[in-house]
Every structure is written in C-alpha cells, then in structure tokens.
Structure 1
Amino acid sequence: MGRIAVVGAGMAAMAVAARLATGGHEVVVHERAETYGGAVGRYTRDGFAFDTGPGLLVLPAVYRDLFVKTGREPLEECVGLAQVDPAGRHLFADGTGVSLPNASRSGVIGALDAAFGPGGGERWSDVLVRAREVWEGVRRPLLEEPAGDPGPLARDPYPGRRRGLRRRPPYLAEVAADELGGDPRAAALLEWYALAYGLDPRTAPAAAAVLPYLEQSFGLWYVRGGMRALADALHARCRARKVEFRFGSEVAGVEVRGGEVQGLRFTDGSTAAADVVAASVPLPYLPQETLPAATGDPLTGARDEPGRCTVHVALRGSRPAGTAHRTVVHAADRGAALDWVFGRGRAEVPAADALTVGVLRPDDPAGRPDDGHEAVTVTATVPRHATAGARHGAGRDWSADRFADAFAERMLQVAERAVPGLRERELWREVRTPLDVERETGAAGGSVPVPSLPGAGGALLRPPNRTALKGLYFLGGWAHPGGGLPHAGMSAAIVADLVAGGPGGSR
C-alpha cells in the first residue's frame, strides 16, 4: 500500500482518489479552496440554485465505469440521470428555429430537413458519418490510453471531400462551408460545437466534427439537482473509500530527491511525505522543472484558451410547458463573433448580432423556490481574463470598470430571443466572468481547457500523464486527454492504472 497525495479536489482528482483508494492505497487530497468539485460548483440564493460549471453531461458511461469500479452502488443509485429531449433548440438570425432530438439520427435528419429544406438533414448526417470514422480511429489512443507518440495524432483523420489541389486537411469552418450545401444556418450549427468547447472553427481541425457526433450518438444528460449532485456523489464515494480531504491546503511544490517524488511542500512551509503525487491543478502551480514536454505553452499546456461568461438570472413566473432545456441563439455575423472571442482589440462590448449565447432552462424543482419562479443560466464563450503571462496580448481585462455588467446586459438582450420578456421577469442576476473563475479555481485567466483533438499538427494534444519524475503524474483538463467532464474521468482511469503498474486506462 502506497501513500498517495492528490493535488486539487476537482472531478478528475476525486475520480483518481476513489480509484486508488479502492486499490488499497492511502490517499490524501489537498485542495487550496474550501470545498471540492473544482469548476463543478453551485450558486444558491433566495431559493434559486444554479450550476456554475457545465450544465449537461456527455458520455455518462465514463462515470458509470468509475462508480462500478469503486463501490457497490452504481451511478444511477447515487444520482438521478435524465436524458434531455430535445437535446437542444437552435435559433438563427433569419428567424429559423430547429429542435434536435436527443440521440436520434433519423430524428435529427427529419428536423433539419424541415428547418433547412430537403437534403439539409442528409448533408448533416454525412458529416457525422465521417466524424464517426474519426471517433473509431482515434478513440483509444486519444482518450483511453496514455499519451504515446504524438505523430499519428498530429494528422487530421477526417475523411472529408477534397477539392482541387488542397494540400492540407480542411478546417472545421471549411467543412461547414463545403459539405453542408452552402447553408449559413447549417454552417453556424456545426461551427457552434467548436465554439462551445472554446475552439475557433476557422482554425480547428475538421476532426472537431467528432464533438457533435458524440452528443448526437451517445445522448445528452442532465443530473437531477444540478451537476453539483455528481460532484457530491463522487465526494461521498471518496469518503466511503476512506480518502482524506484537506481543504485550505495550498501546494507550493513537489519534494524531489534522486529523481523521485518524496512528497509535497505547502505555502505555509509545511511538508507531507508521499510515494506518489497525482496533480490535477493547472500546471503552473508546480515547479517548471517537473513539467513534461508539451505542445503549446510548456507551462500550462494551454494556448490562451478562452473562458466563459455566465449570467444566472432569477425570474418571476413559471417555466412554460415544453420549453427546451438548452437553446442556442446564433450570431447573425459569425465572423465578427469569432473575431471578438479569438482576435484582438476587444475593448468594446460586441454588438448583439456578433454574439452567440446558450440558454439553459432546466425543469428541476431543486433549482427554484417554487413553480411560480424559474432559474435561467445564460452563457457565452469569451476571451480569457488578461494576465501578465498571456501571450500576444491575448484576453481582455474583465476587471475594467462596468465592462462585465455591460457585457452581461448584452448577453441577456440576445437571450431574450429564447426567453421572451426575460428582463421584465428578472428579479436579480449574478454575473460570473473568467476573472471570477480564476479566483475560485486557480485556472490561469479563467480559461476553460479544451478537449484533446487529432490534427492541427498536434497543437490540441495535452502533456502526457506520466512525467520524467518517478511518482509524479498529471491529470485533469490541462493534461492528457484534455478538458471536459468525460475527459476528467478518462484521465483518472489512465493515471490510476499507471500507478497500479498497468499500461494505463480503464480495464
């Protein structure tokens, strides 16, 4: 039995702690904040409750596997899971609206044919068929196994149509333009999946088409009581496996002797011995000499990835029957919208036609004081908070006077297309910017890590989980296989198996 120190108490950290403790190890989790869950938080006020992180779950099989491997009670006995149907409603600038059924290929084809005209659904389906080839080809090396030779994954495996003498694989935006019949609504739909994950579709590899494929093939799920209930269940599983949590325990570095991990040192000057350190915090919190080689920024494995601005709105009046759980309001000027997020010169609040927002309206009594009120969350992908370490002027200053309030007002203006009369119904709002995320989670600039993807010359791959130091492992969004709730669980499975002497991965 070994002494294992886990740095951070987010979802990946708790997942690896539960797996390792089940294997008989002595596991202590060190978290700088005063609670667990990382980005999977909950904001409550006046009987309203809102998820502060992801509001929906893709690939719940990852957490089913985790709960099966760490205890007797399966996931569904610990949390209430429900498929959302429709998976989402999309509103476009020309007034078109379309609701996409959850995990139904034929249903999606029919819905898009009705909204975009005959052939619209089949063209969309053809793109996802090609995305399935990507998934089947890269699933194991990209997500379920330790990072290996990055060479094969540096090439984009998307089998798209080739035109003329193109010498490079297409970007996702080119797939949207070339393979969806020239319909700007269909293009906006495909591009949105990249934008929602913090990727610029104009530079994201065509393999990013795997993102809508995963959602539409495996379904989209809501955790009753909010996504925080999943973090609560995982924390309870850790406690049942005798994992010790030490909150307010801020790590200053790793103790190393003879090329091997000896333990941790903390900002208060104390130390703790450990045979293994599994770190899920953003990598800058560890000494540079301990970091593995990585594409992108060697300190963080990040490439100035954007963050999220979230507005939680408490509304008077009940949620209308038949309301979609998630609605996306697409920008009329997609180019300007992407320029504002990924370009420079972001001093001004973008115009309403240059902003895409997501609107979450869960039908969950746990989120409202009574049926005469409604809790709504509006989100947008935005530039990260500008920090001294941001390269090339990336990001913007979210602490600038009244900018966050003005941007939130613009978000709600756009969201009223999905929630008519939203601002007349408003009781109060809570605005959370990338600066708030940075303060609460320690993520530099409040960036949200994107998932690993093949292609782009390997630029979207993450640092490996195993490091050059014996006993030091990385996991979570800033390490292989990247950001997202499923990826957190996958990275934990890889690291737990590596620590146990296996090849890595869930077996």
Structure 2
Amino acid sequence: MKRRTPAGPAGAVAPGSRITMIGGGIAGLASAALLARDGYRVTLLEKQESVGGRAGEWAQDGFRFDTGPSWYLMPEVFDHFFRLLGTTAAEQLDLRVLDPGYRVFFEDGSAPVDVRRERRLNEELFERLEPGAGDRLGAYLDSARKTYELAKRHFLYTSFASVRPLLTAEVLRGGPKLARLLLESLDTWAGRHVSDPRLRQILGYPAVFLGSAPKLAPSMYHLMSHLDLADGVLYPQGGFTRLIRAIAGLAEGHGARIITGVEATAILTERSGTKARAFGVRYRDAAGAEHTLAADAVVSAADLHHTETALLPRHLQSYPERYWRRRVPGPGAVLLMLGVEGALPELAHHSLMFTADWDANFAAIFGRPTKVPEPASIYVCRPSATDPSAAPPGHENLFVLVPVPADPVLGAGGVGGTGSERVERLADTVIGQIADWAGIPDLASRIRLRRTVGPADFARDFNSWRGGVLGPAHTLRQSAFLRGSNKSRRVEGLFYAGGTTIPGIGLPMCLISAEILLKRLRGDITTAALPEPLEASGGAGQGSPADVKAAR
C-alpha cells in the first residue's frame, strides 16, 4: 500500500508529518525537540534504558561520573539552541566558569602550565615560555575568531543542499585564505606562530576534540583555539547529564514521545516512483518482541555506519561498507572512572598530559598498523574540583580518557578490574602515569572505586563504527560538505543527524546538526542560524498518544 507524505516545499517534509527517530543521544534529543516545536509528530526510539548515548552517567557508592563529553565549549551555540525552544541556557543550567580552563602536564618534567579564562593571561603565558610568542598568539587568536565567525555565518548551519547560498562576497573574497586553511595542516599552521614544543601542543590539541590529529586536521580548525584560549571553558553543575535531562524535558514538553529500551532493527522502505521511500522503523523491545512504527519520514541519529550497513538493504545504502573502508576513523578510547579518597589539588578540573614524542603518539593511533601509544597523551577530568555532587565528602572523582586506536579487539572494561586484560593493564599503566607526572605517589592506594570502558563497549552499547569514541576523524576529506550528508541519496524521507554526519563531532556540533536537520526538512537552504525563538512553520502539531499508538 502506498503511503502519502503530506505536501510541502519541494524536497521538504511538511510539519504535521509523523517522524520516527532512531537514537536518543544529544543529537537525537535536540532534533526531537526542534521538530516537535515546529509541529512534527515525533516518536524517538532509544536502545538503552536511559537517553543520552555517549553523554551518559554512572553512579556508585556516592560517586557520580559523566561517561562521555565533559567540555562545555561554544556557549553561544547552547544559548542559541535553548532560545530557539523559548528558554535560555541560564534557565536550564547552572553554569560555572572554570579558571584555569585546564592544566597541562609535560612528559619532559617541565612545570605544568595553566590555561586561564582570559585571553590576556594566555598571551602572557605564551610570552613567558617563548619570547615574542605572546604577540604571535594574539594574531593567531584574531585569525581564529574571524575564521570561527565566518564558519558560523556560512558553513556550520548549512546542509550543503545547494552551493548558491555559499557564493557570497565574503566567502569569495576570502577564497585564497580559505583554500590555504583547508590544504595546510593544523600542525603546520601552529608551527608558523610558535616554535616551543609545549606551545605547539597546546595549539594542536584541539584536533583531538575533532577526533583527528594535528597533522591530519585542516588548519581551518585553528578556530577551536578561540574557544578555549579566548572564550573560556564552562561547566554545568550536576554534570553533563543535567544538559541531557534539560533537552529531553524540552523535547517531551513540546510533544515528542521518547521510548527507551527498544532497539531499531530495520528502516522500512517501499518503492515510490523510481526511488525507494522510508515509511517506518521495525524495532525490538526488551522482551524480544518485534514491532513496527509507521512514519512519513525517518531520522536516524544513530551512528551513520550502523544506520547504513545494518538497518538498510545493500542496494539502498548511500554509504556502503566500501565507503567506510576508505574513511579515517577517529580514535577509540579506554575510559577510567576512579573514586579516590582524599584531595587531589595537583589536578585541575581539566588536565591534559602530553607526551614528548607527539608525532609518535598520533601515529600509533592513526597509522598503519595501529597500536596503543606507550606512553599515551591522556585527559584527566576532576569534576569534584567544581561540583560537590560528583563525589562523597572527603573524596574526589577522576574521569580519565586514554586515546587508543578504534578497534574493538582491544576489549571491554569492567568494574573493580574485571575488564579485559589489555584494558585493565593499560588502566594500571595510566594510573601510574598520572601519579608520576602530577606528583601524587600514593594515588593507586587511595582508589576506592574503579570502572573501565573499552572500545568493545562503544561498539556494543552505541553501535559505534570500529568501536570509536567520536566518529570519523575531521580530515580534509571528512569535513564540511565532504562529511556524511544528513539526507539519504537513495531513500526518500530518510535523514540523519549527529556527530557522524554534518557538521561534525562534539556537543555543540550535535545541536547544530539538529538545526540543520530541521532546515533540511523545511527545504531551507540558507546558511545562517535560524531566528530565535523558533516559530512553527505550520502543521497541526504533535499527535496525541492515541495517534502514536495507532501508527505502531
């Protein structure tokens, strides 16, 4: 039986249409919230028992851990998203400014340095470590700010459905510089401004936020330094799951229905003229029973590789397995969640530990063959430095991320040392590294709670491509319009959102991804962010529970 999608602008999906969404991570929740406010009838299916995806939470013995993202950058993106929904970040979150934004430790034993909340103080830091570098950092950050503003106006909020809106005087005038920023690596660009290895590492590290390496990421991404060296780093009290709860609440408040503990097993399609059209999703509940949920359009905010290769038949895949064989995955990760007795003032809220052989570290992760770096450059988060709810009185909470190759064979984690042998051995090594580099010789003996997570966990829990923690790396061939599209080329009415599609990796990018999705459904090819607050473009609004039940 042919199913009719409500009419709308050419290529669009009209408000009032039934939207079935797959994946309740931040991108799925943000998409559900925006679409429901715009009048779409949204039902979201989430595999886990709780929403959040990688931005989850684990609590035990009075300790509470964010299990994923922990950096609150690009605050204006969060502010804009909340204002679209008729509220503000200030109303939804209790945000604290971190000062220092983060602390950096170096393998060579030189004194750790603090990156501060004020640009002026960071310019003074660079000047102390390398005479003349303060002024050069100023020029670097000026360029980063201009590039960031250009990206927001023309590249971040577009679906690249048409090139016409990109052909502005500003973009064309900046063409030569844009070409250079795309073709030259971030590492080379940073090296033009500073020579001290420590400073080059500070300027190159933002590549890791993009699931990439300084020598792989285009220098366009030096714009990231504007975010931490000039814009500052924030933290939401209660952790990042507070952000997830806020967005989920807004989605439901605007009428979206969220169903957890159900796993999508297929995107249902039928022939429509010369093309296929998505008309629903088949899913399995906790008891193993199969159900179908009808839809006028389907949105998958799950991992793009999983969506394409597991939920669609081969002949309808826009991104089949051969496509992924040519892609560069971002890193995998071994995570440590440690409950520690006593204070740890040696560590800031965010601490980075950089190895001396920077190139070898990234080559181990991105080269061929891959291997676990020894030692590894690691990230340590101590949220209990800012948030008393993260640990019991007299204790500290440490979340440690160790970048490793994206490879599920490295194994899974566990509680109390029960993970796979390779994961637990690496965890022991990293605990020793933190103790040594930060000057906490009794760290291991003070650990009262320990949990590890490995690449196999990411593959199992989040259907993550190759067990990666972030998604495809931001290389030249995997950025902007060369990244995965948010619309299927082979199935009408099938759309994508999240870090594995445009615009890319990170919480702010996932919020922008949701907005780009809405623009795609509206047939909106503009490049600017939508006006605030979001005004519904029409339609009868979200359906009642009876409507949703009837569609199942």
**TM-score normalised over the length of structure 1:** 0.86
Residue 385 of structure 1: CA displacement?
1.9
Q: Which residue of 2 aligns with 1:364?
A: 387
Pick closer, same or farther for the CA change 1:207–1:97 going to 2, 3 Å: same
Match of 2:74 in 1: 59
Determine if the alignment matches structure 1 residue 260 to structure 2 residue 283. Answer: no
Equivalents in 1 of 2:387, 2:495: separation in Å?
38
Per the alignment, residue 334 of structure 1 pairs with 358
- Worse overlay, 169-178 or 273-282: 169-178
Say whether the 8 Å CA contact 2:341–2:446 is kept in structure 1. yes
Partner in structure 1 of residue 112 of structure 2? 97
Q: Distance in 2 between matches of 1:46 and 1:273?
A: 43
Q: Tell me if structure 1 keeps the 8 A contact 2:464–2:471.
A: no
| Equivalent position of 1:393 in the other structure | none
Distance 1:160 1:26, change over 3 A: closer
The correspondence of residues 114-129 of structure 1 with structure 2, limited to 5 A, is 114=128, 116-129=129-142
Distance 1:91 1:441, change over 3 A: same
Once the two structures are superposed, the pairs formed by residues 70-81 of structure 1 within 5 Å of their partners are 70-71=85-86, 73-81=87-95
Contact 1:494–1:506 (CA<8 Å) still a contact in 2?
Answer: no
What is the letter of the counterpart of residue 144 of structure 1? Y
Say whether the 8 Å CA contact 1:84–1:221 is kept in structure 2.
yes
Q: Does the 8 Å contact 1:279/1:474 carry over to 2?
A: yes
Given that 1:10 and 1:39 are in contact with CA atoms closer than 8 Å, whether structure 2 keeps it comes out as yes
Equivalences for residues 465-480 of structure 1 within 5 A: 465-468=486-489, 469-480=491-502
Distance 2:163 2:185 in 1: 20
Contact 1:359 1:377 in 2 (8 A): yes
Partner of 1:226: 239
Percent sequence identity over aligned pairs: 27
Partner of 1:110: 124
d(CA) in 1 for partners of 2:350 and 2:524? 40
Task: Give the match's secondary structure for 1:230.
Answer: helix
CA deviations 1:274-307 (Å, max 9, x no partner) are: 112111011223314444469x963599522212
Are 2:338 and 1:313 aligned?
yes
**Cα offset, 1:150, TM superposition:** 8.2
Task: Name the structure 2 match of 1:7.
Answer: 22
2:13 is aligned to none
CA distance in 2, matches of 1:345, 1:293: 25
* Equivalence for 1:487: 509
Once residues 176 and 428 of structure 2 are traced to their aligned partners in structure 1, the CA distance between those partners, rounded to angstroms, is 39
CA contact (8 A) 2:329 2:471 kept: no
Structure-2 change in CA distance of 1:148 and 1:140 (3 Å): farther
**2:50 alignment partner in structure 1:** 35
Deviates further, 242-251 or 477-486: 242-251
C-alpha distance 168-252 of structure 1, shift in aligned 2 (>3 A): closer
Shift of 1:173: 2.0
The 2-side partners of 1:480 and 1:87 are apart by: 28
1:306-335 deviations in Å (ceiling 9; x for gaps) = 122211111111343x95211111102212
Report the equivalent of 2:434: 415
- Partner of residue 4, structure 2: none
Number of residue-to-residue matches in the alignment: 485
Deviation at 1:475, TM superposition (A): 0.7
Distance in 2 (CA, whole Å) between partners of 1:89 and 1:410 is 21
* TM score, norm. by length of structure 2: 0.80
Mapped contact 2:182–2:220 kept (Cα < 8 A): no
Q: Which amino acid aligns with 2:388?
A: P
Aligned AA (2:31):
V
Please give the per-residue CA displacement for 1:236-280, whole angstroms capped at 9, x wherever unaligned: 112222211122222222222313321112355432111121110
Out of 327-336 and 254-263, give the one that drifted further. Answer: 254-263
Q: C-alpha deviations, 1:12-42, integer Å up to 9, x for none? A: 1111111111122221001122110011011
Q: Would the alpha carbon gap of residues 361 and 213 (structure 1) be closer, same or farther in structure 2, given more than 3 Å must change?
A: same
Return closer, same or farther for 1:420/1:444 CA change in 2, 3 Å cut-off: same
Which one scores higher on RCO, CA 8 angstroms, separation ≥ 6? 2
CA distance in 2, matches of 1:137, 1:236: 33
- For 2:364 and 2:475, locate their aligned partners in 1 and report how far apart those are by CA, in whole Å: 26
Q: Which amino acid aligns with 1:304?
A: P
CA contact (8 A) 1:141 1:147 kept: no
**Is 1:282 aligned to residue 303 of structure 2?**
yes
Match of 1:496 in 2: 518
Give yes or no for contact 1:19–1:493 (8 Å, CA) kept in 2. Answer: yes
1:145 partner SS: coil
Quote the Cα distance in structure 2 between the aligned partners of 1:158 and 1:367.
48
Name the structure 2 match of 1:83. Answer: 97
Go from structure 1 to structure 2 and tell me whether the alpha carbon gap of 1:137 and 1:236 turns closer, same or farther (over 3 Å shift): closer
Q: Residue 186 of structure 1 corresponds to which residue in structure 2?
A: 199
- Name the CA distance, whole Å, in 1 between partners of 2:179 and 2:131: 21
SS of equivalent residue, structure 1 residue 144: coil
Pair 1:248 & 2:267 matched: no
Q: Give the corresponding residue for 2:228.
A: 215
Instruction: Classify the secondary structure of the residue corresponding to 2:205.
Output: helix
Q: Does 1:381 align with 2:396?
A: no
2:450 alignment partner in structure 1:
429
Which AA in structure 2 matches 1:77? E
Q: Secondary structure at the match of 2:438?
A: coil
Contact 1:27 1:243 in 2 (8 A): yes
Superposed displacement of residue 346, structure 1 = 4.7
Root-mean-square deviation over aligned CA pairs: 3.2
| Shift of residue 481, structure 1, vs aligned partner | 0.7
Which runs of 5 or more residues in structure 2 are unaligned? 1-15, 414-418, 532-552
Q: Which residue of 1 aligns with 2:9?
A: none
> Using the alignment, how far apart are the partners of 1:19 and 1:384 within structure 2?
32
1:134–1:157: 8 Å Cα contact kept in structure 2?
no
1:173 matched to 2:187? The reply is yes
**Aligned-pair distance for 1:62?**
2.3
CA contact (8 A) 2:107 2:354 kept: yes
Q: CA deviation at 1:452?
A: 8.2
* 1:198 CA displacement: 2.1
- What residue identity is the alignment partner of 1:366? S
The answer for unaligned runs of 5 or more in structure 1 is: 388-395
Distance 1:254 1:456, change over 3 A: closer
CA offset digits 1:374-394 (Å, max 9, x no partner): 11112122111247xxxxxxx
Equivalence for 2:549? none
Query: Is residue 314–residue 428 contact of structure 1 (8 Å, CA) maintained in 2?
Result: yes
Alignment equivalent of 2:328, drawn from 303, 325, 331: 303
Give the direction of change, closer, same or farther, for the CA distance of 1:111–1:210 in structure 2 (3 Å limit).
same
